[in-house]
Amino acid sequence: MRIKREKAMKNPRKFIIQKFSEYYRDNANKIPLPTSYKKREFGFILSDKGIMLRHKAFSEPRFFRDFIKLITPSDVYHSAAYYKHPSREMGKKEWIGADLIFDIDFDHISTPCTEEHEYWTCELCDQAGVGKQPSVCSQCGGSKFKMVAWLCETCLETAKSEALKLIEFLVNDFGFPPQDVEVCFSGHRGYHIHVERDEIKQLDQNARKEIVDYVQGTGLKVSLHGLMQVSRKMGQKIIGPDLNDPGWSGKIARGVYDIIVTYNLQQLKEINGINKNIASLIFSQREKILKAWNTGTPWGSIKGVGIKTWEKLVETSVVNQAVSIDTVVTIDIHRLIRMPLTLHGKTGLKVVSIPSKSLERFDPLRDAVAFNEGTLKVYILAAHRFRIGKEIYGPYERETVKLPMAAAIYLLCKRAALLTD
Ligand SMILES: [Zn+2]
Ligand SMILES: [Zn+2]
């Protein structure tokens, strides 16, 4: 059923706050407080004003739970840091240490679908639309718009595979026990990874930057990982790392192996610095290269493919094996992170803590749904397709639709819909 826009002008803010309030009334007691919570700072975004309330501290879990029931925040955070006086202003808190945290957000990862799910809202009125923002708002004449991140399955999958790569780094390269690596779906665009170990609490910003550089493969020198040309009696020979080598050496080898197995001819030709004829040669000799890998001497196994080409393959492998993380988050030793089982104000989904071994099976659009009951009729301004649970919804444009509560709240939180009377 389509209805005229004028009949559906009710602002949904109050309704969202009411639903969030019901959620916290029923679930606040299940929210786990972080370890050493008395030494952490808590922060909240106030639903009605959208402003951040910081420097809160709680001496007992029930005080924290009563507080969120009382204020119904749109978003809830705690510090990764521990302080002597967490409720004091920043300069007087007396920093004791901080957990090691990583943020993987599809905002920082380039995906081929980004342009397909562009979405804007007008900053001056409740107008919204799909695609590129207009130069002028057709409703209020304003020219200030906000680009909105749409929940996209492909983007979320990409973020998840980055998170899996990062876990491999943390467990295999750094040696953290898997049970000390906590993964959280953020409730929106990605995952947070959180390591709580005494060894890392004291690390300063520079040390954390080195960890970032390692997982991003920044400044990695290929020759230091064994790829080189050596002179032998028989002539020149290319040697390189093995698939089972530890650290980046093994990652480089496995990455090159992956390229040989999975890249088509076009993709090989597109690798920067690889000559088109050589790309064809590699493509036609794939079987031989892969066989050579089983005997340990793939590097230099094809006549006509020299060290420069292998270096280019390795560079591509490094890009593929490196993890896209938000550098700023990891090196900020005062950072606030979202709390599991609290809601995300931009989606109405909940933050979910996932054991690292279960991440592969985790489905954010099913497992993070907070509002499982009821339906709601909303007037949708515009919406790309989206999935919640098993159902796929949309695309919609200027129509009134009755939706399951979680789907309706998602659109209301995105400012993509209005309440009907
Ligand atoms: Zn407007
Ligand atoms: Zn996408």
Q: Ligand 1 centroid vs 6 CA: distance in angstroms? A: 15
pLDDT digits (tens, 9 = 90+) for 56-88: 999 999 999 999 999 999 999 999 999 999 999
**pLDDT number for residue 10:** 67
Q: Ligand 2 centroid vs 36 CA: distance in angstroms? A: 37
Q: Which ligand is nearest to the CA of 139?
A: 1
pLDDT digits (tens, 9 = 90+) for 377-417: 999 999 999 999 999 999 999 999 999 999 999 999 999 99
Between 352 and 109, residue with greater pLDDT: 352
Domain spans in the chain, listed from the N-terminal domain onward: 222-321
**pLDDT number for residue 3:** 44
Is residue 227 a contact partner of residue 239, using CB atoms and an 8 Å limit? yes
**pLDDT number for residue 210:** 96
pLDDT value at 235 more than 90: no
Q: Ligand 1 centroid vs 418 CA: distance in angstroms? A: 14
**pLDDT number for residue 412:** 97
Contacts of 60 (CB under 8 A, 6+ apart): none
Between 217 and 49, residue with greater pLDDT: 217
DSSP letters of 121-144? EESSSS-EEESSPPSS-TTT----
Q: Ligand 2 centroid vs 115 CA: distance in angstroms? A: 8
**pLDDT number for residue 191:** 97
Q: Which ligand is nearest to the CA of 110?
A: 2
Task: Work out the pLDDT band at 9, boundaries 50, 70, 90.
Answer: low
Task: Work out the pLDDT band at 93, boundaries 50, 70, 90.
Answer: very high
CA angle 340, 343, 349 (to 5 degrees): 100
Q: Ligand 1 centroid vs 11 CA: distance in angstroms? A: 14
Q: Ligand 2 centroid vs 319 CA: distance in angstroms? A: 20
Q: Ligand 2 centroid vs 309 CA: distance in angstroms? A: 33
**pLDDT number for residue 226:** 84
Q: Ligand 1 centroid vs 192 CA: distance in angstroms? A: 34
Q: Ligand 1 centroid vs 129 CA: distance in angstroms? A: 11
Instruction: State the ipTM, two decimals.
Output: 0.96
**pLDDT number for residue 174:** 96
Q: Which ligand is nearest to the CA of 149?
A: 2
Q: Which ligand is nearest to the CA of 143?
A: 1
pLDDT digits (tens, 9 = 90+) for 286-330: 998 888 888 767 887 888 888 899 999 999 999 999 999 999 999
Tokens of 45: 């975004």
Q: Ligand 1 centroid vs 280 CA: distance in angstroms? A: 54
Element (H, E) at 39: none
Tokens of 144: 């200030």
> Which residues lie at CB < 5 A from ion ligand 2?
111, 113, 152, 154-155
**pLDDT number for residue 114:** 85
Question: Whose CA is closest to 55, among 40, 45, 74, 37?
Answer: 40
Q: Which ligand is nearest to the CA of 381?
A: 1
Q: Ligand 1 centroid vs 420 CA: distance in angstroms? A: 19
Q: Which ligand is nearest to the CA of 117?
A: 2
Q: Ligand 2 centroid vs 70 CA: distance in angstroms? A: 36
Which CATH code of 3.40.50.920, 3.30.70.100, 3.40.50.11390, 1.10.8.160 fits the domain covering 222-321?
1.10.8.160
pLDDT digits (tens, 9 = 90+) for 25-54: 999 999 999 999 999 999 999 998 889 999
Look over the chain and give the mean of its residue pLDDT values, rounded to a whole number. 93
Is residue 311 a contact partner of residue 84, using CB atoms and an 8 Å limit? no
**pLDDT number for residue 109:** 79
Range scoring the smallest mean pLDDT among 7-11, 164-168, 172-176, 189-193? 7-11
Question: Percentage of the chain surpassing pLDDT 70?
Answer: 97
What's the whole-number mean pLDDT along residues 229-251? 87
Is residue 129 a contact partner of residue 150, using CB atoms and an 8 Å limit? no
DSSP letters of 285-308? THHHHHHHHHTT--TT-STT--HH
Question: Whose CA is closest to 239, among 260, 251, 225, 220?
Answer: 225
Q: Ligand 2 centroid vs 330 CA: distance in angstroms? A: 24
Q: Which ligand is nearest to the CA of 384?
A: 2
Q: Which ligand is nearest to the CA of 137?
A: 1
**Tally of CA atoms within 13 A in the half-sphere of 328 that contains its CB:** 4
Q: Ligand 1 centroid vs 415 CA: distance in angstroms? A: 12
Q: Ligand 2 centroid vs 154 CA: distance in angstroms? A: 5
pLDDT digits (tens, 9 = 90+) for 252-265: 999 999 999 999 99
Q: Ligand 1 centroid vs 38 CA: distance in angstroms? A: 45
Q: What's the burial of 244, exposed, middle or buried (CB within 10 Å: 0-12/13-18/19+)? A: exposed
Q: Ligand 1 centroid vs 112 CA: distance in angstroms? A: 29
